[in-house]
Structure 1
């Protein structure tokens, strides 16, 4: 099984309503608390918490003025080895707290549901 999952999310300070000029750790803790504190920013943490248990998923949110995209790094330790996944997504133009990919994924899912259940 999965031993540990660590999600590090980097976002530009203006997306987090901050104005720091240096990289700053905003949050470090489990996914359950992260989703409660940042419900509009962390759909990746919520998805990981559904895959593993919310207590096994550690979340780090970093306010980083050098990034222009929403960056998610996922480290997974499990009995067969380690994995590292990195995603860099353009922010949604109307809601930069999330990526455009998240909105398009939600639209596609809704279309699929509506096609199955007219």
Structure 2
């Protein structure tokens, strides 16, 4: 998935294909309050956000772990733009796998989608 043409192909994190996204992984990832906050922030109109732009109540290494869990569960897609690692929700892919799940989770968090 090309975003701007400025990314380096060798530095792209791995993501599960749509057919590899599992409900138990998605639900487990969303059960953590910090990860749920990241997802909510992304859904609030910030389609692509640099990891450093999130104000999280955890250390940088713990933050990195949370982003990795979300990426490996198939909830977010990450890519590099220059030296920044950008994140975006995989809304369409998640809706294809689990229709309405992400919207319901976000609605429960008070996020309008």
TM > 0.5 = no
Structure possessing the higher radius of gyration over alpha carbons: 1
Q: TM-score, normalised by structure 1?
A: 0.25
Which is strand-richer, 1 or 2? 1
Which is helix-richer, 1 or 2? 2
